[in-house]
Amino acid sequence: MMAAPFTSPVEEYDRQYQAWAGQQGPKVFDLDWRLTHLSWGDRALLRRYSPEGRRVLDFGCMDGIFTLRLQQLGGEAVGYDISPAAIAQAKRFRGSAARPVFTTVPPGPGQFDRIYCTDVLEHVEDDSGLIGELVSYLASGGSVVGTTLVEGGAYEEALLRRALAPWGRVRLHRYYRSALRNLLPVRQQGDAVLVFQVTPPSPPGAR
């Protein structure tokens, strides 16, 4: 019996991105349409955590649409993804502009004031370990923010808080797809995202 061919993580992420893009139809390559149709979870995150005036990282940026929006809103943005195919498309979207920067090279320590991590945690085995990695990329006083889906039981608040708590002060907010439902003061069933922030303690003597 022949062994299945080895697929590297990079090849697998390329395959997943290309499969996703193929399912979306022609609008997936329409930059203006994509920028004006960010997911409701992304819009909730940006309402709470602005990139303006900050050095920001979009971790797991895929083809860079959210990174480009961070740059538009006043951030000094970098988009990182493991998939060369996704990063190549991000650079095509950016065109001849110098920013945002798109890369498949992991960042170094202490580079960012805010790191955005949208809909990534539910797809990794070691969610707490990933947050620890992201925290290492922060400058003093920085924070990691992001979203994770609640629908289908992907995450609940206790599980997410447990993953985040070892790395600093945690804030969680639940947002529903319907804006009207967000006005009700009780937890409800249905489509929702958890918007999170984790802020590591500043080292002694840091300003």
Whole-angstrom distance, CA of residue 105 vs CA of residue 189: 40
Task: Tell me how far apart the alpha carbons of residues 103 and 160 are, in angstroms, rounded to a whole number.
Answer: 28
CATH at 97: 3.40.50.150
Domain span at 96: 9-143
Q: Angle formed by the axes of helices 9-24 and 84-94, to 10°?
A: 50
Asked whether residue 95 is assigned to any structural domain, the reply reads yes
The answer to the question of residue 69 being in a domain is yes
Longest dimension (CA), the chain: 62
Asked if residue 51 belongs to a domain, the reply is yes
Say if 127 falls within a structural domain.
Answer: yes
**pLDDT tens per residue, range 30-47:** 999 999 999 989 999 999
Task: Provide the pLDDT for residue 131.
Answer: 96
pLDDT value for 47: 93
Q: How far apart are CA 143 and CA 163, in angstroms?
A: 15
Copy the structure tokens of residue 87.
């990063």
Query: In this structure, is residue 134 part of a structural domain?
Result: yes
Give just the sign of the alpha carbon dihedral 76, 118, 36, 174.
Answer: negative
- 2 located within any domain: no
- Distance of alpha carbon 48 from alpha carbon 22, whole angstroms: 32
Q: How many CB atoms lie within 10 A of CB 146?
A: 26
- Cβ neighbours of 117 (radius 10 Å): 21
- Total structural domains within the chain: 1
Task: Give me the residues of the chain with pLDDT under 70, please.
Answer: 1-7, 151-155, 178-190, 203-207
